[in-house]
Amino acid sequence: MKKILVTGALGQVGTALTKRLQQEYGFDQVLATGLQENTILDARYEKLNVLNGKEMMRVVRKHRIDSVIHLAALLSATAEGKPLLAWDVNMNGLLNVLTVAKDAKLKVFTPSSIAAFGIGTPPDQTPQDTLQRPTTMYGVTKVSGELLCDYFYRKFGVDTRGVRYPGLISHESLPGGGTTDYAVHIFYDALLNGTYTSPIAKGTKMDMMYMPDALNAIVQLMEADPSRLIHRNAFNVTAMSFAPEDVANAIQKHIPEFEMHYDVNQNLQQIADSWPNSLDDSAARAEWDWKPEYDLPRMTKEMLIALKMKLKQPVR
């Protein structure tokens, strides 16, 4: 990658990724784009709606882009509330990216998700290649996106790559509208209030990952030797699998008085229950040497330190 365009750059992943790519490739080599005016990122920036393919091509040509990291999408809970909008943004946004990539010869990274699994998928150590019958609109767009990326690679030779992300935990920007968002909110509430009410029930295990590992996955996969890639798109990746009480326990090691309560949100719970408990990421490990650095204790420690600074909290 030399000149990289990031869509959805103002979101949870995009804000952290833009900084990471600037460090790795140079400030001027990264073009952040998003739906809104940029008030948060120190970056080269263009306002861009991914549903406008013509404008996307204009921006790509103007900045001599060679790679796109396509992050703009509606997440699972929002998508369940607005399923037709989710289909439009998630699918037509991706179709525009792939079409521009075909014509301008770009490399493309597209994240899929644990949401691409559903009914009949083995829930534990979910294999790379298995049944995918998701029950959410978000999941439907993710499976369709995986297939569309495979198609553009096979039919048109577009260099598409991607991973199935688990819930992503970070301290830069808050996630919006996801089912795994609780695993970020719990850290803020632990520091600000000493208590958290989980919308996800005890015992509900989901895969999770700390943002630095998620960003490494993008850079590593995009720079990987293509001759080693058998799967290309939609690699299972994971770093840890936990239930709400596990992250609460990890926080209590640092804040012993922290209290966890539960008020289960049935909409979110239904989505969470349809997703795997844990993924098998051996294909990613074998094909591009994927290896996460953060487990739950290490991530918890770093999240609390980073958020204390951000929230200017005295150390509890």
Residues annotated as part of the active site: 138
Find the shortest distance in angstroms from Cβ 168 to ligand SER. Answer: 6
Comparison of 15 and 76: residue with beta carbon closer to ligand SER: 76
Binding test (CB under 6 A) with ligand SER, winner from 165, 182, 235, 242:
165
Comparison of 29 and 126: residue with beta carbon closer to ligand SER: 126
Find the shortest distance in angstroms from Cβ 127 to ligand SER. Answer: 18
Find the shortest distance in angstroms from Cβ 114 to ligand SER. Answer: 6
Q: Binding to ligand SER by residue 75, rule CB under 6 A?
A: yes
Find the shortest distance in angstroms from Cβ 138 to ligand SER. Answer: 6
CB 231 within 8 A of CB 167: no
Q: Binding to ligand SER by residue 144, rule CB under 6 A?
A: no
Select the span of 17-25, 90-98, 108-116, 248-256 touching ligand SER (CB under 6 A).
Answer: 108-116
Q: Binding to ligand SER by residue 180, rule CB under 6 A?
A: yes
Q: Binding to ligand SER by residue 115, rule CB under 6 A?
A: yes
Q: Binding to ligand SER by residue 167, rule CB under 6 A?
A: yes
Which residue ranges make up the site for ligand SER (CB under 6 A)? 75-76, 113-115, 138, 165, 167, 178-180
